[in-house]
Amino acid sequence: MEEVKDRSEILTEKKNPKSEKIDTLSTEEIIRLINEEDATVHQAVKKAIPEITRAADIVYNAFSNEGRLRYIGAGTSGRLGVLDASECPPTFSVDPDLVQGIIAGGYQALRKAVEAAEDDPENGKKDCIKYGLQSSDVLMGIATGGTTPYVHGAIDYANSIDCKTIFMTCTHKEKLDIEADVIIEVLVGPELVTGSTRMKAGTATKMVLNMITTTAMIKLGKVFGNYMVDHMAINEKLLDRGSRIIADLANVSREEGYEYLHKANKHVKEGIVMAKLDVSYDKAHQLIQDHNGFIRFAFEEEQT
Q: Which tens digit of pLDDT belongs to each residue from 78-121?
A: 999 999 999 999 889 899 999 999 999 988 887 777 667 788 89
Q: Is 13 a catalytic residue?
A: no
Starting at the edge strand found earlier in the chain, the sheet holding 138-142 runs 99-103, 69-73, 138-142, 164-169, 182-185
- Rounded to whole angstroms, the Cα distance separating 22 from 212 reads 35
pLDDT tier for residue 1 given thresholds of 50, 70 and 90: very low
**Cβ proximity of 127 and 156 under 8 Å:** no
Mean pLDDT of 5-31: 85
What Rg, from alpha-carbon coordinates, does the chain have?
Answer: 22
The one catalytic residue in 13, 37, 51, 118 is 118
- pLDDT over threshold 70, residue 160: yes
**Cβ proximity of 80 and 142 under 8 Å:** yes
pLDDT tier for residue 31 given thresholds of 50, 70 and 90: very high
Which domains does the chain carry?
A: 11-219 (3.40.50.10490), 223-303 (1.10.8.1080)
- Spell out the residues 6+ positions from residue 181 whose beta carbon is closer than 8 angstroms to its own: 54, 58, 164, 165, 166
- Rounded to whole angstroms, the Cα distance separating 168 from 203 reads 13
pLDDT > 90 in the chain, percent:
78
Q: Is 87 a catalytic residue?
A: yes
Q: Which tens digit of pLDDT belongs to each residue from 273-302?
A: 999 999 999 999 999 999 999 999 999 865
Mean pLDDT of 47-71: 98
Mean pLDDT of 121-131: 95
pLDDT at 3: 67
